[in-house]
A and B are shown apart, each in its own frame.
Chain A
Amino acid sequence: MNRRLAIAILALAGLFISLYLWLYKLGMIGTLACGTGGCETVQLSPQSRFLGVEVALIGVIGYVVILGLAMAAMTPRFEGLSWPIRVMPLVTGGAVLFTAYLKYLEFFVIHAICRWCVASAVIIAVIFVLSVLEWRRERAAA
């Protein structure tokens, strides 16, 4: 599997996780599938909103952007060191920093761990690594 497809698949997985959590906040899901109950503690905390916007919705939007970039990079028109490949490490790097802030809140402010949020954190970290590797490979080839 090539890296661009791997990034797209991971972004799709992250998108569905964020969508699941956002629909939960909208009251459309019922209870969350989360063994520890930590997911609900996190999702119902005041920290589940960032600057008045649901963090889950920010995740949905972020993953849509990353998925769009990955899909653009997979089209023949954007082969090589194209702009989607240049932009991807910047976008995913920002997402990793935001995720690190959210993890800090979970560990030190809310004192609860949401498994879905951890899954999303792992996904965004892997996407970031893959996007940097792809950017470096294309830059070396160019």
Chain B
Amino acid sequence: MASASRVTPPSNNPKKKGSAPAPSPNRNFLVLGGLAVVGIAVIAFLVMRPKDVSIPANVTVLAADTAGFRGYILGSDSAPVEISEYADYQCPACGSFEILQFDVIKRQLIDSGLVRWRYRDFPLPQHPHARVAAHATACANDQGKYWELHRAIYDNQAAWSSLRSASDFFRDLAQQAGVELGAYDACMTSAKYAGRIEASVQEGGKLGVGSTPTFLIGGRLYPGVFSSDSLASLVRSMVPKPAP
């Protein structure tokens, strides 16, 4: 064969005979190129894999979506301080606030009449199940079971967050919370609260909410988690002291 009898041309490599040959630049670029292809394939897979978003985000918000509704409220209408919490069911910080701080806040500030609490949905785009969770609680609210499902979803956040589809998980939680599943299923399938959830997101965005949880207290935004103690201090500083 011609190739077998070919004479190897003299090398231009100035290195001494027997020394380890330097890797050729072409080989280096081939290695890099191969790794880049693998990395791009992984990223493309992550971007293109199906996500479980069954409640649309790109809805046109109608006046009827927001009429008479400005969040889920706990506490007295005559409370001197109102706190709006913009939160996302799939946000770990919101979950830890709900589980670790909210019970104390409810007991010390809401039940005592100092604070009226307003929960506003603010599902972030990077959380595929957050909008479904918000819609599930809205459907539970139709049956007077909002706060039961709200808490159950946060309590089990670690269990459903990494699921490919969380809809069945929320349905089970709704059932455990006492929600009648026929009406719940119809509500979820119709996605009738998609506009209301989006309205809440847009309202938060206009106020300047950019992360969750964010609290609106006395006209000021406070991003990040509050401890019950620091929130109580802030609230007490805002309550007018009775004249001596």
Contact = CB atoms under 8 A, between A and B. Distances in A.
B25 A74 contact: yes
B189 interface: no
A110 to B, nearest CB: 9
Interface residues of B, number: 33
Given A23-B47, A44-B212, A2 B124 contact: no
B39 interface: yes
Interface string A20-54: 10011111111110000110110111101000000
B181 interface: no
Nearest to B24: A76
B91 interface: yes
B42 interface: yes
A2 B25 CA distance: 11
A12 interface: yes
Nearest to B161: A31
Contacts of A46: 210-211, 223-224
Interface in B14-46: 22-23, 25, 28-29, 31-32, 35-36, 39, 42-43, 46
Interface in A73-120: 74-76, 112
B39 A2 contact: no
Contacts of B49: 30
Nearest to B33: A12
B92 interface: yes
B32 A30 contact: no
Interface in B79-104: 90-93
Contact of A2 (B23, B43, B47, B224): B23
B59 to A, nearest CB: 16
Interface string B153-164: 000001001100
Contacts of A9: 31-32, 35
B161 A28 contact: no
Contact of A20 (B25, B46, B93): B46
Given A29-B47, A29-B126, A30-B51, A71 B92 contact: no
A45 B90 CA distance: 14
Contacts of A1: 23
A24 B124 CA distance: 11
A27 B39 contact: no
Nearest to B212: A44
A9 B32 CA distance: 6
B47 A28 contact: yes
Contacts of B9: none
B39 A12 contact: yes
A30 B126 contact: yes
Nearest to A23: B47
A8 interface: yes
Given A71-B29, A74-B28, A23 B46 contact: yes
A30 B43 CA distance: 12
A109 to B, nearest CB: 9
Given A27-B125, A31-B127, A44-B211, 12 more contacts: A1-B23, A4-B28, A9-B32, A9-B35, A13-B39, A16-B43, A19-B43, A27-B124, A30-B49, A37-B161, A74-B29, A76-B25
15 contacts: A1-B23, A2-B23, A9-B35, A12-B32, A12-B36, A19-B43, A27-B124, A31-B128, A31-B162, A41-B92, A43-B126, A44-B91, A44-B126, A44-B211, A46-B210
8 closest residue pairs by CB, A with B = A27-B125, A37-B92, A16-B39, A30-B128, A30-B51, A5-B28, A27-B126, A28-B47
